Structure 1
Amino acid sequence: MLALVFAAVLTASAPPPTDMTLTILSEVCLPYVAGEPRDAASLGPLGFVVTAADEDTLNFQSEDQAYILRLTTTGAAADDNLNRVCVIQARRGGFDGVKRSIQPLLREQGFSPEADLPPGRAIWTRDGVTVSLRQNPGAAAIVRVTYSTLDAG
Structure 2
Amino acid sequence: MLALVLAAALAAAAPPPPDLTASVLTDVCLPYVTGDSRGATAVGTLGFVPAPASDGDTLNFKTEDEAWLLRLTTTGSAADDNLNRVCVIQARRGGFDGARQSIQPVLREQGFTPEADLPAGRAIWTRGGVTVSLRQNPGAATIVRVTWSTLDAG
Q: TM-score per shorter chain, which class? A: 0.7 to 0.9
* 2:50 equivalent in structure 1: 50
Q: Please, which of 12, 16, 37 is the counterpart of residue 13 of structure 1?
A: 16
1:110 is aligned to 111
Give the CA deviation at 1:44.
2.0
2: CA distance, partners of 1:104 / 1:42: 21
**SS in structure 1 opposite 2:140?**
coil
Find the aligned partners of 2:40 and 2:109 in 1 and give their Cα distance: 27
Distance 2:130 2:42 in 1: 23
Shift of 1:110: 1.0
Shift of 1:71: 0.1
How far apart, CA to CA, are the structure 1 residues paired with 2:46 and 2:87?
A: 16
5 Å-filtered alignment, 1:2-151, equals 9=13, 13-15=16-18, 19-38=19-38, 42-52=42-52, 53-151=54-152
Give the residue type in structure 1 aligned to 2:109.
E
Q: Which runs of 5+ in 2 are unaligned?
A: none
Contact 1:50 1:59 in 2 (8 A): yes
Q: Classify the secondary structure of the residue corresponding to 1:118.
A: coil
Asked whether the equivalents of residues 90 and 142 of structure 1 are also in contact (C-alpha less than 8 Å), the reply is yes
User: RMSD across aligned C-alpha pairs, in angstroms?
Assistant: 2.1
- The count of residues paired between Structure 1 and Structure 2 equals 145
Structure 1 unaligned spans of 5+: none
Structure-2 change in CA distance of 1:24 and 1:42 (3 Å): closer
Distance 1:76 1:97 in 2: 35
SS at match of 2:153: coil
Tell me the percent identity. 71
Following superposition, the deviation at residue 69 of structure 1 comes to: 0.1
* CA 23–149 in structure 1, closer or farther in 2 if over 3 Å, else same: same
Q: Is residue 28–residue 42 contact of structure 2 (8 Å, CA) maintained in 1?
A: no
Partners of 2:116 and 2:151 lie apart in 1 by: 22
Q: Structure 1 residues 41 and 131, CA, compared in 2 at 3 Å: closer, same or farther?
A: closer
Could you tell me whether the CA contact under 8 Å between 1:98 and 1:141 is conserved in 2? yes
